[in-house]
Amino acid sequence: MSLSPAAPAMQSVRDYLPLAKARLDPGIWRYLADGDGAGDEQALADIRLMPRPLRKLRGGHTRLTLLGQELAHPILLAPVAYQRLFHPDGEVASAMAASAQGGQMLVSSLASQPFDDIVRAASAGGGTGPWFQLYWQGDRARTLRLLQRALAAGCTAVVLTVDAPIKQATLQLPDHISAVNLEPGEPPATSGSAVFDGWMAQAPAWDDLAWLRGQTALPLLVKGLLHPDDAERAIAAGCDGIVVSNHGGRVLQCGPISIHALPAVVERVDGRVPVLFDSGIRNGRDVFAALAFGATAVLVGRPAIWGLAANGAMGVAHVVRLLRDELEMTMALTGCARLADISRLSVC
C-alpha cells in the first residue's frame, strides 16, 4: 500500500513466512510446516467481526493477570521443540523476546538449550520464569526427574501435553542439536502392536495426571484437550487451566478445528479455570476471535518461529508486537477498550 521502495517490508506476521522459508534448510522447513492446520487458519479467517464505531476508548489496553502473573498482552509463545533448528540462538532468543514484550513463553521438554539458560534469558528481559511444557517420559520416575530439572531452573508453571502420546515420525536431527534436558531414551517395546503395546504404553493416563498434580504446587495446565468431558475431568483432577489445541494438526489427521471445539469447552469450564487457545493464530484479528469465543489467552507457534528464523530474538519480538498491535486495532474498531469487553457479541 505504499509507493515508496523504502517502506518496511514486515508489516504483518505473514511477511515473515517467505523470509523464514528462504533461510531454512528445506527439510527443516517441511518439518515446521508439516501438519493439517490449514483448516484452523481458514476457520479463524472465516470469523467476521462487527465494527462498533464512535465509542470512547482512550486508555484502553490489553493487560491481563493470568495464573497470578501480570502480562502486557494475552499472546504466549507456544512450546516449539528444538528451536536451534531455526536459529542459532534457539529458545534463549524466544525467551528474551517474550519477556521483552511483557508476555510469556512455554519451554518445550524438547528444548535444544539448557533450562537454566532459557530461564536466565527470560529474567534478563524483566519477566518471570517461563512455563514448562511437559511430555510424559514413559514412567513417573523419569517424568518427575525432568519436571524437577525444569522447576529447579525457575519455570513458573507446568503444562502437560496430552495429545501427542505417539512418538511422531522422527526428524533426523543435525548432530549438534538435541533435547539437552532429557535423559537418554529407551526404545519402545516392540512385541505385540507397535501402537498399542509400544508407543501408547508410554503415554500418560488420567491417573498419571492425578499423580502429577501432587508433585508441584505451581499452576498445572493440560494442553491438547478438545472434548468438554475431558476438560471437566482435568478440572476435577485439580488442573489450573486448559489449553484447547489440536497440536497444529500435526498429530491426528482431520481432527477437530480447534476454534470450533473451543466454545463447548469454554461453556463447560464456565470460568472455573482459564481456557487458553492454540492452533492457527496468524494475526491479531485471530487473537481477538479466539478471545471472543471465550479464550483467556492464546499460544502462537509457527509465526513466532518465522520471526525467529528470520531475525532471532528481534524477529520473535516483532512478531509478538505485530500481533499485539493488530489485536489493539481490532479492539479499537470493535469498540472494546479492554480484554474483558471482548465477547461473542463482536462476532457477526
**203 lies in the site for a copy of itself, by CB under 8 A:** yes
Distance between CA 57 and CA 333 in Å, rounded? 10
Q: Which is catalytic among the residues 73, 87, 247, 318?
A: 247
- The yes or no reply on residue 169 touching a copy of itself (CB under 8 A) is yes
DSSP 182-227: SPPP-PPP-SS-IIIIIIGGGS--HHHHHHHHTT-SS-EEEEEE-S
Count H helices and E strands in the chain, helices first: 11, 10
Closest CA to 264 of 284, 242, 297, 287: 242
Asked if 238 interacts with a copy of itself (CB under 8 A), we say: no
- Asked if 193 interacts with a copy of itself (CB under 8 A), we say yes
The Cα–Cα gap between 182 and 91 comes to 15
Asked if 273 and 306 touch (Cβ cutoff 8 Å), the reply is no
Residues 282-321 that bind a copy of itself (CB under 8 A): 283, 285
Give yes or no for residue 102 binding a copy of itself (CB under 8 A): no
Span 47-86, contacts to a copy of itself by CB under 8 A = 47-62
Alpha-carbon gap, residue 248 to 39, rounded angstroms: 10
Q: How far apart are CA 73 and CA 117, in angstroms?
A: 24
Nearer to a copy of itself, 6 or 271 (CB): 6
Q: Judged by CB under 8 A, which of 124, 152, 205, 236 binds a copy of itself? A: 205
Per CB under 8 A, contacts with a copy of itself among 23-42 are 25, 27-28, 30-31, 34
Please say if 247 is a catalytic residue: yes
CA distance linking residue 322 with residue 334, whole number of Å: 18
Cα–Cα distance measured from residue 98 to residue 188, given in angstroms and rounded to the nearest whole number: 36
Question: Closest separation between CB of residue 153 and a copy of itself, Å?
Answer: 27
Stretch that binds a copy of itself, among 14-22, 124-132, 295-303, 324-332 (CB under 8 A): 324-332
Q: How far is the CB of 303 from a copy of itself (least distance, A)?
A: 16
What minimum distance in Å lies between the beta carbon of 202 and a copy of itself? 10
By CB under 8 A, tell whether 214 contacts a copy of itself. no
Catalytic residues, by residue number, are 247
